[in-house]
Amino acid sequence: MTFKIALNFEDGVTRFIDCNASETVADAAYRQGVNVPIDCRDGACGACKCKAESGQYELGFYIDDAMSEEEAGLGYVLTCQMHPRSDCVVNVPVSSDVCKIRQATLSASVDEVRQLSPSTISLVLQGPGIDKLAFLPGQYANLEVPGTTRTRAYSFSSMPAEGKVAFLIRNVPDGLMSGYLTERARPGDTIRLAGPIGSFYLRDVARPVLMLAGGTGLAPFLAMLDKLVAQGGSAHPVHLIYGVNTDADVVALDRLDAFKAALPNFSYEVCVVADDSAWPKKGYVTAHIEPAHLNGGEVDIYLCGPPPMVEAVAHDLRERQIEPKSFHYEKFAASV
Ligand SMILES: Cc1cc2nc3c(=O)[nH]c(=O)nc-3n(C[C@H](O)[C@H](O)[C@H](O)COP(=O)(O)OP(=O)(O)OC[C@H]3O[C@@H](n4cnc5c(N)ncnc54)[C@H](O)[C@@H]3O)c2cc1C
Ligand code: FES
């Protein structure tokens, strides 16, 4: 039996490896050209200590000097001893270049570019490599702007299916990628993509989840919800608050409604900042976070949007004196 192991490096790069049930994660990594930190290979030195974010595994043999019982209880593993029993996500506490990994790159072609509203564009890429593109839902890739050597970061807004993957992109006035997508993009154009990257991804749903999306910050949540549907749902409530500036920015409601139909524990609401909005809920997402959504802190919060939104939500949680079980965020910062 073979399992997929996602190795997340400190610099945000993720590399997926296959690991047989009978081999250790370190052996599998080396077999596939990923030189994870290692020394004794005997469970004696601790050089290969990593943190397992999720998955079932056997710790194997090790001595207390290499890893304490407390560390094992916290999810630490020694990759030279670890045998997976399911797909796993493992955080490797070094940068990917230390492990001699080159970021995976792929040439894809434009399948469709659709303006969903004046402010928002849907881009679908296709190609033979897309279905094999392994990423954790919520991660992003760097897309090269055709005709230039510049790249822009975009979160996957779907999981790969039938050789295609989608992105949800804000139309930034005078923006390089925005200009390409609105003026020149044609089906068949080649776009180079490097990734997956990022530590913003959906962990095991072990308690209620609150998702907070600002504008096209909705993108990674669409991929996460795709994944939840593929997994057969969630045992805990998942609530999304989707905030935008104006009514014209509200997009992808068809997908959100389809998720609502497919996931009995999923609910969502939309709020719009503009006073003249036709939507009943006005203002920023922070105005619509109810105590029930925070579940007294027993909640995993995922937040994606422009940098000021991330600061505003962090400030709001401090004001409410809520310390969520976990708080993951992605800032859609402008490229420099
Ligand atoms: C990890 C990560 C993931 C991202 N994922 C997404 C995504 O899924 N969808 C998405 O729409 N964007 C996403 N972004 C933002 C994206 O990478 C680009 O910055 C954005 O799309 C603008 O690219 P552009 O080439 O059109 O404009 P640029 O040529 O980069 O910018 C043109 C001008 O607009 C300004 N500008 C750029 N972006 C913004 C902004 N957001 N707000 C205000 N001014 C801005 C620039 O400073 C510049 O002056 C992400 C960013 C990061 C860091
Ligand atoms: S390499 Fe020494 S404990 Fe794993």
**Tens digits of per-residue pLDDT, 54-70?**
999 999 999 998 999 99
292 lines ligand 1 (CB under 6 A): no
What is the mean predicted confidence (pLDDT) over 124-151?
A: 91
**Domain membership of residue 157 as a residue range:** 105-197
| Count of domains observed in the chain | 3
Confirm if 325 and 301 have CB atoms less than 8 A apart.
Answer: no
Instruction: Report the C-alpha gap between 16 and 22 in whole angstroms.
Output: 18
Q: Which ligand 1 atom sits closest to the C-alpha of 197?
A: 1
Which contacts of 40-47 are long-range, i.e. CB under 8 A and separated by 24 or more positions? 40/80, 41/80, 42/80, 43/67, 43/78, 43/80, 43/81, 46/78
Residues 213 and 252 in one domain: yes
Does ligand 1 have an atom closer than 6 angstroms to the CB of 178?
yes
Is the minimum distance from the CB of 38 to ligand 2 under 6 angstroms? Answer: yes
CATH of residue 224's domain is: 3.40.50.80
Peptide bond into 208 cis (omega under 30): no
- Distance of alpha carbon 177 from alpha carbon 180, whole angstroms: 5
Q: Does 5 sit in the ligand 2 pocket, CB within 6 Å? A: no
Same domain, 116 and 181: yes
CB 153 within 8 A of CB 335: yes
**Cα-flanking dihedrals φ and ψ of residue 8, to 5°?**
-100, 120
Q: Of 92, 124, 148, which residue is a domain's last?
A: 92
Q: The CATH number of the domain where 110 resides is what?
A: 2.40.30.10
Flag whether pLDDT at 101 surpasses 80: no
Q: How large is the average pLDDT for residues 309-330?
A: 92
Q: Which atom of ligand 1 is nearest to the CA of 220?
A: 8
The answer to whether residue 202 sits within a structural domain is no
Task: Report CA(292)–ligand 1 centroid distance (Å).
Answer: 33
Q: For residue 174, which atom of ligand 1 is closest to its CA?
A: 32
Query: Do 213 and 313 lie in a common domain?
Result: yes
Q: Is 54 exposed, middle or buried (0-12, 13-18, 19+ CB in 10 A)?
A: middle
78 lines ligand 2 (CB under 6 A): yes
Mean local confidence (pLDDT), 162-167: 96
* Closest residue to atom 37 of ligand 1, CA basis: 334
The 10s digit of each residue's pLDDT in 168-206 is: 999 999 999 999 999 999 999 999 998 888 878 898 899
Comparing CA positions, the residue from 22, 54, 53, 24 lying closest to residue 36 is 24
Three-state helix/strand/coil letters over 106-147: EEEEEEEEEEEECCEEEEEEECCCHHHCCCCCCCEEEEECCC
Using the CB atoms, write b or e for 8-40: b if 16+ within 10 Å.
Answer: bbeebbbbbbebeeebbbbbbbbeeebebbbee
What percentage of residues in the chain have a pLDDT greater than 90?
79
Is the C-beta atom of 176 inside 6 A of ligand 1? Answer: yes
Q: Per-residue pLDDT for 164 more than 70?
A: yes
Residue 238 lies in a domain: yes
**Tell me: the pLDDT tens digits for 66-83?**
999 999 999 999 999 999
Q: Would you state the pLDDT for residue 156?
A: 97
Ligand 1 atom nearest to 155, measured from its CA: 8
In single-letter form, the type of residue at position 86 comes to S
In a domain, 27, yes or no: yes
What average pLDDT does the structure give for the chain?
Answer: 93
pLDDT band at 39 (very low <50, low <70, confident <90, very high): confident
| Whether the CB of 274 sits within 6 Å of ligand 2 | no
Q: Do residue 227 and residue 316 come from a single domain?
A: yes
Does ligand 1 have an atom closer than 6 angstroms to the CB of 156? no
Ligand index nearest the alpha carbon of residue 82: 2
pLDDT over 80 at 103, yes or no: no
Phi, psi of 86 (to 5 degrees): -160, 180
Inside any domain, residue 204: no
Distance 301 CA to ligand 2 centre (A): 34
Is 71 part of a structural domain of the chain? yes
Please report the pLDDT score of residue 150 as a whole number: 93
Query: Residue 33 has what pLDDT?
Result: 87
Alpha-carbon distance of 184 to 306, in angstroms, equals 26
In a domain, 99, yes or no: no
Greater confidence (270 vs 104) lies with 270
Q: Among 166, 102, 160, 167, which Cα is nearest to 133's? A: 160
CA distance 51 to 63: 17
306 belongs to a structural domain = yes
Please give the distance, rounded to the nearest whole angstrom, from the Cα atom of residue 2 to the centre of ligand 2: 23
Q: What pTM did the predictor assign?
A: 0.84
Q: How far apart are the CA of 58 and the centre of ligand 1, in A? A: 42
Q: Identify whether residues 270 and 306 lie together within a single domain.
A: yes
